[in-house]
Amino acid sequence: MATIPRESVREVLHGFLAGRGLRKTSQRDAIIDAAFGTTEHYTAEQLLAMARGIDTSVSRATVYRTLPLLVESGLLRELDLGGATKIYDPNFLEHPTHNHLVCVDCKRIFEFEDPNMELLGNCITRRMGFSPSNKTVKIEARCDEFQLRGSCRKAAGGAPA
Amino acid sequence: MATIPRESVREVLHGFLAGRGLRKTSQRDAIIDAAFGTTEHYTAEQLLAMARGIDTSVSRATVYRTLPLLVESGLLRELDLGGATKIYDPNFLEHPTHNHLVCVDCKRIFEFEDPNMELLGNCITRRMGFSPSNKTVKIEARCDEFQLRGSCRKAAGGAPA
DNA sequence: ATTTCTGCAAACGATTTGCACAGGG
DNA sequence: CCCTGTGCAAATCGTTTGCAGAAAT
């Protein structure tokens, strides 16, 4: 669960921005560092708080304007897990094909990676006459331990919703 | 692709409402008939239009208040396909485990059903110490035909986004 | 110098809600 | 009758955007 060196992520993004004629700014750097300085999921609002911890001048608007850039760069992934707000996941760099299980009891999000799921998705897509571009699997499930004990200790690996 | 007889869907929902101490009203009936009188996907706004085609007195608020009931009854499924608005899918009655492929070229939504996907999802869930409750697979993909010809005829089976 | 960025605050759009009356049981 | 359901319009809430000044190239 090690974080990717901030430096290299920054460099990649600086290249991405340059390629689009976009500029390198201190606010964007703060947002980038905040976005990839954790392996937890976060919302736009939470990212704003984290970025402000690095540079107090970062505004909400800039966060909302920067997030789509990070997503388009391919380094950050946007998740639609059902709630009203979008959730961002910085872990696709390390685990490009992982997916999510949401516990309906405690609402925590657990990540999983499964090569069979990946292969099967590709097969189905091709069989339908398409070329795979992006696959999203969301599993909602009840925690067995929670059912038995009324509480669970699965905290490790899971992020609160 | 036949629609389930409206009558039986209505009866099931009347039972569901009664079980909760909720009442049968003409507006709810219009919304139910509209919701299950098609196999196309729709948004809340589109359902409002369809319901008004049956009973002009149906209001937007009632549609928004009724939709969660239909979803909770298990007859209607809410989809988060990435857009700003939620999409509703009345086809889970006939195909309880189907999933969706969204064409990134034409934005159309195609449904598919695959028993292996179903089994694999269950396996992964159990392996993680959970009991499956609900699985959602969304595949975004490029249409091969569109890539070659610049247009495609896959309309059949697909609903426009 | 030229353009892109930024913060602010107002605008937006889908959805939710308070209210007073209508209507089901 | 009692209590839930309804339409209307206002309120919410996450997100987007117009603007004028600030900063990067």
Query: The domain that contains B63 carries what CATH number?
Result: 1.10.10.10
Give me the residue label for tokens 């929902």: B13
Shared domain check, A145 and A77: no
Structure tokens at B100: 């969706």
- DSSP per residue, A30-63: HHHHHHTS-SS-B-HHHHHHHHHHH-TT--HHHH
The separation between CA A134 and the C-alpha centre of its own chain, rounded to angstroms, equals 14
Q: What is the pLDDT of residues B56-72, one digit of tens each?
A: 999 999 999 999 999 99
Domain boundary among B51, B69, B90: B90
Chain pair A-B, CB pairs under 8 angstroms:
111
> Is the CB of B135 less than 8 angstroms away from the CB of A135?
no
Give me the residue label for tokens 């309880």: B96
Q: How far is the CA of A13 from the C1' of C12 (A)?
A: 30
Query: Which residue of A114, A131, A140 is in closest CB contact with B124?
Result: A114
- DSSP per residue, B9-34: HHHHHHHHHHHTTPPP-HHHHHHHHH
Shared domain check, B58 and B29: yes
Q: Which of A87-101, B4-18, B108-122 has the lowest mean pLDDT?
A: B4-18
Q: Which of A29-33, A34-38, A48-52, B103-107 has the lowest mean pLDDT?
A: B103-107
| Alpha-carbon gap: B63 to the closest alpha carbon of chain A (Å) | 19
The answer to the question of residue B83 being in a domain is yes
Percent of chain A with pLDDT over 70: 92
- The pLDDT of B140-148, averaged and rounded, is 92
Helices (H), ranges, chain B? 6-19, 26-35, 44-54, 60-73, 115-127, 144-149
Percent of chain A with pLDDT over 90: 80
- pLDDT for residue B158 is more than 50: no
Shared domain check, A106 and A44: no
| Alpha-carbon gap: A92 to the closest alpha carbon of chain B (Å) | 17
- pLDDT for residue A32 is more than 70: yes
Q: What is the pLDDT of residues B86-110, one digit of tens each?
A: 999 999 999 999 999 999 988 899 9
- B72, amino acid identity: E
The answer to the question of residue A1 being in a domain is no
- pLDDT for residue A47 is more than 90: yes
- B43, amino acid identity: T
A145 contacts chain B (CB < 8 A):
yes
Residue B135 contacts residue A140 (beta carbons within 8 Å) = yes
> Is the CB of B133 less than 8 angstroms away from the CB of A101?
no
The answer to the question of residue B1 being in a domain is no
Between residues A77 and B159, the one the model is more confident about: A77
Domain range spanning residue B119?
97-156
> Is the CB of A134 less than 8 angstroms away from the CB of B140?
yes
B85 contact to strand D (CB, 7 A limit): no
User: Residue A70: which residues within 8 A CB-CB, separation 6 or more?
Assistant: A13, A31, A32, A35, A76, A88
**CATH number for the domain that contains residue A106:** 3.30.1490.190
Query: Which residue of B120, B128, B143 is in closest CB contact with A130?
Result: B143
pLDDT score at A160: 45
Which value, in Å, is the radius of gyration of the alpha carbons in chain A?
18
**Number of domains making up chain A:** 2
In terms of C-beta distances under 8 Å and separation of at least 24 residues, what long-range contacts does B104-108 make, across chains too? B104/A133, B104/B140, B104/B141, B104/B142, B105/B142, B105/B143, B105/B146, B105/B147, B105/B152, B106/B143, B106/B146, B106/B152, B106/B154, B107/B160, B107/B161, B108/B154, B108/B155, B108/B158, B108/B159, B108/B160, B108/B161
- The pLDDT of A125-152, averaged and rounded, is 92
User: Residue A134: which residues within 8 A CB-CB, separation 6 or more?
Assistant: B139, B140, B141
B114 contacts chain A (CB < 8 A):
yes
Please state the pTM of the whole predicted model. 0.90
pLDDT score at B106: 84
Query: Which residue of B117, B135, B144 is in closest CB contact with A131?
Result: B144
Q: What is the pLDDT of residues B17-68, one digit of tens each?
A: 999 999 999 999 999 999 999 999 999 999 999 999 999 999 999 999 999 9
Q: Which nucleotides of D are covered by protein (CB under 7 A)?
A: 4-9, 13-18, 23-25
Q: Which secondary-structure segment (H or E) carries A114?
A: none
pLDDT score at B157: 46
